[in-house]
Amino acid sequence: MKPILESGAFELAAQIKSGQRTSLEIVEAHIQSIKIWNPVINAVVEDCFSAAFREARAADARLREAKEKNLVLDLPPLFGVPFTIKEMVSVQGLKHTLGSVHRRAVVSQHDATVTKRLKDAGAILLGTTNVPELGFWFECANEIYGRTNNPFDPSRTSGGSTGGEAALIGAGASPFGIGSDIGGSIRMPAAFCGIFGHKPSGRLVPMTGHYPLYQGDAERWRGEKYPLTVLGPLARKAADLYPLMQILMGPDGVDQEIRANFKLKPRVTDWSGQTVWVMPSPRLQGVSRVSTELSESARNAARYFEAMGATLKEMRADVFEDAVAIWFASIAKNKDRSFTDVLGDGSPIDYKREMLKLALFKGDYTLPALGASLLETVSRRFEKNLKDSHEASLEKAKDLKQRMNNLLGENAVLVLPVHPRVAPKHNTPILRPFDFALTGIFNALELPGTSVPMGLNDQGLPLAVQVIGADGQDHLTISAAEVLESAFGGWQKPELKS
């Protein structure tokens, strides 16, 4: 058998049910790994280890009883397997700060739908993981919990906003977890930390219990950032993404946006009838040029599919050139409450005062959050001027979405870089604030995307690509991830560095 910390979630579940390993053994191994790694990467912000040990012992007792009654096959799919979850997703009894000083004492009263579904599937929660302030930004730092570091190089970012989750899974200290993605917040951290991350098509996984969509308050927030924000799985093994999506999907009776009766199509193993488009060096306005090593990773992935019999085609580099404008217009269209109101908890923000406090290392807010708030405030003064621009961008988005869905259809995917660079050094992304648009464009278009590790570069940092499909073709992008994992090795466990 593979070591516990190198096995997939459903592999571990099978080992528990067969009696090869106990839930307690598996849970304990991951908790010990968290205790070793967390002082270096600062990923877990609140643990529930004591409860996890109790649940693991109960699972092992339940298994013994199930064997006596010949009911092992009736045990749930993730029976006894540990997991972690992004702190923006509600867990009853645990803090739900979103990394905001104004929410320091907030404790969740309910489990989010995805949390409950995983628990009902037999999974055992180990804790919640770090996020940027209010989930904004593609670095992971806030004034409550501090900064999360990349397990492959602690001087680099783990990405955001699902940075704590990706760092922990990338370190091998959690087999899988749940994140959310509004502009690449699953795919960028997954890419930076060398793991798999899937952004589902829009309206598949209920957002209930993810800020700000809560039970009893969902109608008031209906439309907020919808359908750009989606919840999805991150894992160290590609094979876990498909069954995790099956567990997470479907209406919950609260989130009224979720599609009814949607089912994933079967995985694709024969690629001879498929078309693979590749865009190795996208050119987007305001976005950095893609590094040579990441362009080559996209080409290598596409060539492998060609060797498997797929038809290979190259897409024009400027197809998504207006991605930044399209994403911001889409956000503005779906935003019911300003970011500034949320950041200040309803109170005005004194920007001069807060910037001075920040310079003195006494700030209540992070620099990216303050910058976004200030930009939003200034933009309001030009709202009438921006209206025409936003409407034009939304028309482009509508046209582009239709063209991409028609082009990809049921038998094609697009392979391209996740980000222009490998995991950047801390504090440098603010110098290139629009580099998220390589992922953000697919939120605006509601297309599924899977981040896939493609080995390590000469510095030992993860390389990655994203595989994009037409709306509802999540099975295709996940299938592609499984193929690429077998060809390029998938996740590689990093060495612990202080």
Q: Which CATH class is domain 4-328+392-488?
A: alpha beta
Category of 99 on φ-ψ map: left (φ > 0), alpha (ψ -120 to 50) or beta:
left
One digit per residue, the tens of pLDDT, for the chain of length 498 reads 999 999 999 999 999 999 999 999 999 999 999 999 999 999 999 999 999 999 999 999 999 999 999 999 999 999 999 999 999 999 999 999 999 988 999 999 999 999 999 999 999 999 999 999 888 888 999 999 999 999 999 999 999 999 999 999 999 999 999 999 999 999 999 999 999 999 999 999 999 999 888 766 655 555 555 558 999 999 999 999 999 999 999 999 999 889 999 999 999 999 999 999 999 999 999 999 999 999 999 999 999 999 999 999 999 999 999 999 999 888 877 555 555 555 555 566 666 666 666 566 666 667 666 666 556 665 565 555 566 788 999 999 999 999 999 999 999 999 999 999 999 999 999 999 999 999 999 999 999 999 999 999 999 999 999 999 999 999 999 999 999 999 999 999 999 986
Give the chain's length. Answer: 498
With a CB cutoff of 8 Å and minimum separation 6, the contacts of 44 are 34, 38, 84, 126, 127, 128, 129, 130, 164, 168
Q: Pick the closest to residue 179 from 232, 227, 216 (CA basis).
A: 232
- From-to residues of CATH 3.90.1300.10 in the chain: 4-328+392-488
Query: Which residues are identified as catalytic?
Result: 86, 161, 185
How confident is the model at residue 297, as a pLDDT? 99
Question: By the 8 A CB rule, do 49 and 27 touch?
Answer: no
How remote is the C-alpha of 403 from its chain's centroid?
26
Q: CA 406 to CA 358: how far, in whole Å?
A: 48
> CA 477 → CA 184, 244, 293, 404, 484, distances in Å?
16, 14, 22, 14, 11
- Torsion sign (Cα): 382, 387, 389, 393: positive
How confident is the model at residue 54, as a pLDDT? 99
Tokens read off for 269? 């193993």
Residues 277, 225, 140, 12, Cα dihedral to 10° = -70
Helices 49-68 and 23-41 cross at an angle (nearest 10°) of 160
Cβ neighbours, 10 Å, residue 267: 13
Q: CA 99 to CA 142: how far, in whole Å?
A: 5
